[in-house]
Structure 1
Amino acid sequence: MRELVIVGAGGFARETAAAVRAINDVRPTWRLRGFLDDDPALRGTERAGLPILGAIDRLADLPDAAVVVCVGNPRDYAARQRIVHRLGLPAERYPTIVHPAAHVGAGSSLGPGTVLLAGVVLTADVTVGAHVAVMPQVVLTHDDRVADHVTLASGVRLGGGVALRTGAYLGAAALIRESVTVGEWSLVGMGSVVLRDVPSGEVWLGSPARRLRAARPGRLAPQAEPAVASQAAPAVGELTVSRVVGN
């Protein structure tokens, strides 16, 4: 079994650890070493029965371990992108984690470092980029395109042909109409119903959803400056994806 380390020790990290254990129950695949986190208060402690191995830079001592970055929340949803940039690892170090209770339909693909938790459904021909967090009970339907570093909170539903640009954050139970685009680093509030395109760098909420203010995703890595709210959402770039093979 290949060693696996989870970066972060919060809720999403522990949920990912549970998904890894579920994978191992079906087919022993991963030797889960523990968590890496920069919070000094966590040193020497455990989370979900696994040790905090040290700060993120400790990864240099584990050159053969696979890595999945499991951080980010609505107050700083750019954190995952920053850490991936900071680590500078090749794509092959990042596995795709798919809970056995998730369904990935024919013609769909997932990028490195992406996590699908229990109850997620990708119906058909869905493309998901790298380092995407897909929480329980999310449904992505035909021809959806999800770019890198997107976060989909629990219960999100996308109609067919939706495009989520880099770093977008969709709150729990948000509903997105078919063929709608959500721009780079925009945030859609929980329970919102989005009926038209959301420009880059904005917060939208409500039913129907409307603009509330400019987004504050947190500091981005140098090569990805925050989108300007007045700019049109750029086209989805080339996604680095790999065919799902069950891990």
Structure 2
Amino acid sequence: MNEKNHELKKIVIIGAGGQGKDVLWTIMDINKISSRFDIIGFLDDDKKLHGKTINRVPVLGGMNWLSNKNKMGCIIAVGDGKIREKIVKKLKNVNVYFPSIIHPSVIMSDFVTIGKGTIIHAGVMIPPDSEIGNFVFINLRSQIGHDCKIKDFVSIMAGVNVTGETIIENGAYLGSGVTVVDKIKIGEWSIIGIGSAIGKDVKPYSLYLGNPGIFIRKIKDEKSRPRL
């Protein structure tokens, strides 16, 4: 797409599943406002997808496709922060960079900071003085309150409401429709299930469910981590 326009940033989307389609949609909407990205294709380690076309964009191969490329932009379209972290580590010695992708409909204060490799989808609202880290994923119609700190590899699914001065530590996962009251801390790599309402601090490496959200169990290792 648009390969003759050298001003466009060449990018690939890592992950050709549902999240990949959503990221493609967001990038296409960005390009409708102002052409910024040349979408080269999808990358996915599922060999069954190689050679296929998804919404007019080819699946080029697995991540090994990047090994001989020069300064390629990569968007990691995966909802699970643990997998995003693994992909970033795998690409540590590859000549790539990670732009952040923000849908044009996002309402965001000028006093919000955003790290690299972050994806913010349509309808999200972020008021002043919140900090969004690296490789954060914020899905459709979620709201982040003022003065929040959303740290690296956090995943916030669709329709989540995080109120002011909340701290969400590295890798935490908030399922669709979760509500979080103000001034609490969500521990690192914790998981909060769909529709839960959180009114107290969440322990790290823990699973919480329900309204009100309650501690269910510890997440000790990859085997005990719920499938996201």
**TM-score strictly above 0.5:** yes
Q: Quick one: percent identity of the two aligned structures?
A: 29
Letter in 1 for 2:33: V
Please say if 1:49 is aligned against 2:49.
no
Question: Which of 30, 39, 42 is 2:46 aligned to?
Answer: 39
Once the two structures are TM-superposed, the CA of residue 211 in structure 1 deviates from its matched residue by 0.7
Q: List runs of 5+ in structure 2 lacking aligned partners.
A: 1-7
Question: Which of 10, 15, 22 is 1:8 aligned to?
Answer: 15
Please say if 1:184 is aligned against 2:188.
yes
Letter in 2 for 1:44: G
Deviation sequence 1:35-82 (CA, Å, 0-9, x none): 111011111111222100111121123222211111134xxx411111
**TM-score of the aligned structures, taking structure 2 as reference length:** 0.90
Q: Secondary structure at the match of 1:15?
A: helix
Deviation sequence 1:74-115 (CA, Å, 0-9, x none): xxx411111111111689811110000111213101110000
Aligned residue number for residue 120 of structure 1: 124
Once the two structures are TM-superposed, the CA of residue 216 in structure 1 deviates from its matched residue by 6.5
Letter in 2 for 1:66: G
Deviation sequence 1:163-194 (CA, Å, 0-9, x none): 11000000001000101111010000111000
Once the two structures are TM-superposed, the CA of residue 133 in structure 1 deviates from its matched residue by 0.7
Aligned residue number for residue 3 of structure 2: none
Aligned residue number for residue 235 of structure 1: none
**Aligned ranges for residues 128-207 of structure 1 at < 5 Å?**
128-207=132-211
Q: Secondary structure at the match of 2:65?
A: helix
Q: Secondary structure at the match of 2:27?
A: helix
Q: Say whether the 8 Å CA contact 2:156–2:174 is kept in structure 1.
A: yes
Please say if 1:68 is aligned against 2:75.
yes
Cα distance change, pair 194–17 in 1 and its aligned pair in 2 (3 A):
same
Letter in 2 for 1:170: L
Q: List runs of 5+ in structure 1 lacking aligned partners.
A: 220-225, 227-247
Letter in 1 for 2:37: W
Rounded to whole Å, the distance in 2 between the matches of 1:101 and 1:217 is 38
Runs of 4+ in 1 over 2 A off after TM superposition: 89-92, 215-219
Q: Say whether the 8 Å CA contact 1:134–1:154 is kept in structure 2.
A: yes
Aligned residue number for residue 5 of structure 2: none
**TM-score of the aligned structures, taking structure 1 as reference length:** 0.84
Cα distance change, pair 218–69 in 1 and its aligned pair in 2 (3 A):
farther
Aligned residue number for residue 22 of structure 1: 29
Letter in 1 for 2:213: A
Q: Say whether the 8 Å CA contact 2:66–2:94 is kept in structure 1.
A: no
RCO greater where, 1 or 2, for CA within 8 Å and sep 6 or more? Answer: 1
Q: Secondary structure at the match of 1:200?
A: coil
Letter in 2 for 1:100: P
Q: Say whether the 8 Å CA contact 1:44–1:53 is kept in structure 2.
A: yes
Rounded to whole Å, the distance in 1 between the matches of 2:219 and 2:37 is 37
Equivalent pairs, count:
217
Cα distance change, pair 72–136 in 1 and its aligned pair in 2 (3 A):
closer
Letter in 1 for 2:136: V
Rounded to whole Å, the distance in 1 between the matches of 2:40 and 2:79 is 21
Q: Say whether the 8 Å CA contact 2:71–2:96 is kept in structure 1.
A: no
Q: Say whether the 8 Å CA contact 1:78–1:218 is kept in structure 2.
A: no
Letter in 2 for 1:71: V
Q: Say whether the 8 Å CA contact 2:72–2:95 is kept in structure 1.
A: no
